[in-house]
DNA sequence: TTAAAAAATTTACATACTGTAAAGTAATGT
DNA sequence: ACATTACTTTACAGTATGTAAATTTTTTAA
């Protein structure tokens, strides 16, 4: 059974998650989060050193709650790098909507907050690592397009598979997620994948 | 000759520009901006209704100071849509570094501030309008790639020619600006421009 | 069951920031 | 020189974050 401390922590994180997503980092104070969680304001400082740390913990908490459907996870062990690329973009399309709200709060807080900046950089590095593995495999299979190094192609794909591409096309412009994923997938193949003679992938 | 009011306004904007770029929106208070500008804190409120309005005015001020070299401006009247696309990406590469710092402050402030949000949306709409004109021309000349509507291609190019692509590749990953512009240009051509038989553009 | 330990509350305080108000002073242009 | 405009000074109201310490409640374990 979970300890009281853990339960309180979760109550706080749940409240913070809901309220901060609704009204943004500077739109909600510690007082209100505490009231919503049913604890005193001071209790928040017993669990988190500062508001910024609460934000970071909240982002972590949200990450842990992400639901990645079986069919996406299964595709992880794929035959070719090309399939891996496809399933990677697919996973991006599934994950991004679930983390976008929180990630964008962290992103906006990072300019005036070191903890948020560190959390953001962690996220960037993690994603870049995943992408790099796919690109390396692509290179190994001789399917990396001419004129690209592994590093460059990684940077490029990483920049395109970012929170902000999602924000621009899906959030701002209202693209359906399937269209979004489809276009990105096609585009990446056209640009960083070398064509195989006589075959359409 | 400029009035005292105008001179004071400029002093404030210059100070705000320097300090906010250095330490972010929430890293600098009105007090400090005033001290730096050599005026009283109250003077700031005689010129700007709020800190957020100062931020927006500052962004506008920065925009007005942008230096777009002659050779980029001259290319505006180009022969073909393809050339227009190229010169557009080129202009983006020249302009973005000059506005990035300020634009990213506005972007981060927009979540907790209506004035900043409005200013940001203005900027997005303006840029999108410019891009749309090029894409329309591309379509008119029959060079829009198969499977793209004008709207979709506009959204797509607009998402790629954003502050965040610049941030990811140039700021975070250190791409030289020529490489950045070159890759984007090539990529756009590959994806949204229809190939002309037997010719390499 | 009860005593120790852990967790949370209450109350108070320090600090910093935004924004408002009003009276007084200095600079400017005609 | 004088009226107007611009700016300063001083004071205040409100809202945050974060710290501190004494007290109470809850949990755990003997």
Residue range A22-77, pLDDT digits in tens: 999 999 999 999 999 999 999 999 999 999 999 999 999 999 999 887 777 766 67
Cα atoms in the Cβ-side hemisphere of radius 13 Å centred on B50: 8
Predicted confidence (pLDDT) per residue in B100-126, tens digit: 999 999 999 999 899 999 999 999 999
Structural domains of chain B, with CATH: 4-51 (1.10.10.60), 70-192 (1.10.357)
- Distance CA(B154)–CA(B135), nearest Å, equals 6
Rounding to the nearest 10 degrees, give the CA dihedral for residues B126, B129, B134, B138: 160
pLDDT computed for residue B200 by the predictor: 54
Taking a contact as any Cβ pair under 8 Å apart, which residues of chain B between 161 and 180 contact chain A?
162, 164-165, 168-169, 172-173, 175
Segments in chain A forming alpha helices (H): 4-23, 30-37, 41-47, 51-64, 70-74, 81-109, 114-140, 150-160, 163-166, 177-192
Query: A161 vs A79, which has greater pLDDT?
Result: A161
pLDDT computed for residue B69 by the predictor: 79
Long-range residue pairs from B27-33, CB within 8 A, at least 24 positions apart, any chain: B27/A111, B27/A112, B30/B54
Per-residue confidence band for B26, with pLDDT thresholds at 50, 70 and 90:
very high
Whether the pLDDT of residue B23 is over 80: the answer is yes
Per-residue confidence band for A163, with pLDDT thresholds at 50, 70 and 90:
very high
Residue appearing with tokens 């990446």:
A188
Residue appearing with tokens 């922590």:
A9
pLDDT computed for residue B18 by the predictor: 97
Nearest nucleotide by C1' position to the B43 CA atom = D7
> Does residue B187 belong to the interface with chain A, where contact is any CB pair within 8 Å?
yes
- Distance CA(A154)–CA(A138), nearest Å, equals 11
Nearest CA in chain A to B120: A172
Mutate which: B145, B159, B186, B193, vs A, most A CBs within 10 A: B159
Instruction: Quickly count: other Cβ atoms within 10 Å of residue A61's Cβ.
Output: 17
- Which among B172, B183, B191 is the nearest to A190, CB-wise? B191
Question: Which bases of chain D are contacted by protein, using any atom under 7 A from a CB?
Answer: 5-11, 15-21, 26-28
Contact between A132 and A159 under an 8 Å Cβ cutoff? The reply is no
> Does residue B25 belong to the interface with chain A, where contact is any CB pair within 8 Å?
yes
pLDDT computed for residue B201 by the predictor: 55
% of chain A exceeding 70 in pLDDT: 96
Per-residue confidence band for A15, with pLDDT thresholds at 50, 70 and 90:
very high
Instruction: Quickly count: other Cβ atoms within 10 Å of residue B66's Cβ.
Output: 10
Predicted confidence (pLDDT) per residue in A93-130, tens digit: 999 999 999 999 999 999 888 999 999 999 999 999 99
pLDDT computed for residue A200 by the predictor: 54
- Distance CA(A8)–CA(A12), nearest Å, equals 6
Kindly give, in sequence order, each residue whose CB lies less than 8 Å from that of residue A7, ignoring residues fewer than 6 positions away. Answer: none
Contact between A56 and A106 under an 8 Å Cβ cutoff? The reply is yes
Whether the pLDDT of residue A12 is over 60: the answer is yes
DSSP-based helix, strand, coil % in chain B, nearest 5:
75, 0, 25
Predicted confidence (pLDDT) per residue in B37-89, tens digit: 999 999 999 999 999 999 999 999 999 999 887 777 766 677 899 999 999 99
Predicted confidence (pLDDT) per residue in B151-188, tens digit: 999 999 999 999 999 999 999 999 999 999 999 999 99
pLDDT computed for residue B165 by the predictor: 98
- Distance CA(A200)–CA(B99), nearest Å, equals 42
Predicted confidence (pLDDT) per residue in B130-151, tens digit: 999 999 999 999 999 999 999 9
Contact between A50 and A112 under an 8 Å Cβ cutoff? The reply is no
Whether the pLDDT of residue B1 is over 90: the answer is no
- Distance CA(A91)–CA(B79), nearest Å, equals 42
What end-to-end distance do the CA atoms of chain B give, in Å? Answer: 51
Rounding to the nearest 10 degrees, give the CA dihedral for residues A185, A191, A194, A197: 80
pLDDT computed for residue B76 by the predictor: 67
Whether the pLDDT of residue A1 is over 70: the answer is no
């Amino acid at each position: 059974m979970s300890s009281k401390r853990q339960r309180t922590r979760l109550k706080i994180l749940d409240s913070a998650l809901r309220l901060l997503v609704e009204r943004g980092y500077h739109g909600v104070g510690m007082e209100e989060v505490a009231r919503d969680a049913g604890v005193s304001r001071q209790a928040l400082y017993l669990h988190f050193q500062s508001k910024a740390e609460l934000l970071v913990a909240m982002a972590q908490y949200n990450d842990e709650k992400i639901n990645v459907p079986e069919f996406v996870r299964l595709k992880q062990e794929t035959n070719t790098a090309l399939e891996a690329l496809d399933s990677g973009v697919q996973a991006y399309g599934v994950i991004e909507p679930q983390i976008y709200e929180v990630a964008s709060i962290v992103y906006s807080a990072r300019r005036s907050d070191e903890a948020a900046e560190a959390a953001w950089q962690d996220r960037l590095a993690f994603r870049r690592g995943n992408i790099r593995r796919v690109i390396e495999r692509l290179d190994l299979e001789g399917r990396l397009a001419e004129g690209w190094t592994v590093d460059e192609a990684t940077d490029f794909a990483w920049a395109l598979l970012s929170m902000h591409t999602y924000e621009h096309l899906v959030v701002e412009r209202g693209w359906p997620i399937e269209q979004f994923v489809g276009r990105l997938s096609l585009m990446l193949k056209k640009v960083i994948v070398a064509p195989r003679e006589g075959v359409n992938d």
